Amino acid sequence: MATLLVTGANGFIGRHVVSTAEKAGHCVTAMVRNPRLGSVPGMVRHDLRFPLEGLPPADWIFHLAGGYAGAGREELFRADSRMAENIIDYGLKAGIKNWVIASAAEVYGDVEGIADEAAPTRPVIPYGRIKLDLEQRFAERLASLPGCRVVILRIGEVYGSQGRLMTELTTRLNRGFCPWPGSGRVAVSFVHAEDVAQAFLCALERARPGISIYNVVDDVPASWHDFVCSAALRLKAKPPLFLPVPLVYCYALCGTFACRLTHREPVLTQHALRLLMTPKALSNSRLKYELEFRPRYPSYADGMEEALSGLSH
């Protein structure tokens, strides 16, 4: 049994990581910024933008904490950088040598074909640039630790029940109006949240000493068109309305401006639009070969039923 400190434990992926680790018999300290349902055993409330101390001992740190909803580009970069520096400072002082860092497929930029971990990293959106900066920050500061194990997980498009992707997609499909930029035929590697959590445990159990990088995706790259049309078919809803990109861009721009006036969080931003237009088909071969990762949901088609379960239709 290992003792774990999990940052961002209240997030969609973080909740799955905590639950999976506890079911496997590990002792988890779950760090959250804002508790959703009050205190639970093993929960620590702390805003990681500020230094931390006095936590229970841990063998591993799983770092998933990231920026918060509504943050602008510069504010998001500063917040994520500060969180990374604070958790690194704490881990070094505490003598923690084992780390798993949540990164993202967006560090590759516009992927041509299917990217493995040796592909060049040329992010084209702020989110990808921030994640690549964090990867480099952790690698540089932790590389000198003797006997360290630092695992960077580049996670694909995550879906699952109660996740924001499925909640918002389901809401719009059932309303009968779900605009989508272009044809939707952008290559994407999806991964179920439960399989992401399993990848964290594979890293804990089998990671080698040193710094290693793995893509965390399912076995079968697909496209946004396939994914959203499959969801519509299962919901017996009208399929998305595929619109010219400039038209959707104007829609996002106007919606963002209106939400700023009413102090609401916009659903479709220019940033989100670029995210939907970025090809990110990845290979999980290294993860399967070196860490013996076996996804419970090998493709989005296998996980769609679970992803739609429990949602209010």
* DSSP states of 181-245: ETT---EE-EEEHHHHHHHHHHHHHHPPSEEEEEEE--SS-EEHHHHHHHHHHHHT-PPPEEE-H
- What is the distance of C-alpha 298 from the center of its chain? 18
Tokens 């498009």, located at residue: 157
Average pLDDT estimate for 105-114:
95
Task: Tell me what pLDDT residue 36 has.
Answer: 66
In a domain, 200, yes or no: yes
Q: Is 258 contained in some domain?
A: no
Separation CA 221–CA 101 (nearest Å)? 23
pLDDT tops 90 at residue 301:
yes
| The pLDDT of residue 194 | 97
Angle between helices 164-175 and 300-308 (to 10 degrees): 80
- Per the prediction, the chain carries an average pLDDT of 90
- Cα 181 to Cα 242: distance, rounded to the nearest angstrom: 6
| Banded model confidence at residue 312, pLDDT cuts 50, 70, 90 | very low
| Amino acid type, 100 | V
Q: Is the separation of the CB atoms in 272 and 73 below 8 Å?
A: no
- Phi/psi at 56 (nearest 5 deg)? -60, 150
pLDDT at 235 over 90: yes
Residues paired with 54 in a beta bridge: none
Each residue's pLDDT tens digit, 115-148: 999 999 999 988 899 999 999 999 999 998 889 9
DSSP 68: -
**From 70-84, 137-151, 215-229, 272-286, the region with the lowest mean pLDDT:** 70-84
CATH number for the domain spanning 152: value is: 3.40.50.720
pLDDT of residue 313 exceeding 50, the answer is no
Determine the average pLDDT of the residues in 22-27: 96
CB-count exposure of residue 173 (10 Å: 0-12, 13-18, 19+)? buried
Higher pLDDT pick, 48 / 271: 48
Contact by Cβ (8 Å): 80, 130: yes
| Residue range 206-227, pLDDT digits in tens | 999 999 999 999 999 999 999 9
Work out the widest C-alpha separation in the chain, in whole angstroms.
Answer: 57
d(CA 58, CA 95): 9
Number of structural domains (the chain) is 1
Whether 116 is covered by a domain: the verdict is yes
Q: Is residue 276 part of a domain?
A: no
* Length of the chain (residues): 313
| Domain assignment of residue 119, yes or no | yes
Residue 105 domain boundaries: 3-160+190-217+281-297
Q: Is residue 311 part of a domain?
A: no
Q: Are strands 3-7 and 60-63 parallel, antiparallel or unpaired?
A: parallel
Helix (H, G, I), strand (E, B) or coil at 100: strand
- pTM score: 0.92
Q: Is the pLDDT of residue 253 over 80?
A: no
- Section 87-106 average pLDDT: 96
- Please check whether residue 35 lies inside any domain of the structure: yes
Note whether 112 and 280 are within 8 A (CB): no
In a domain, 24, yes or no: yes
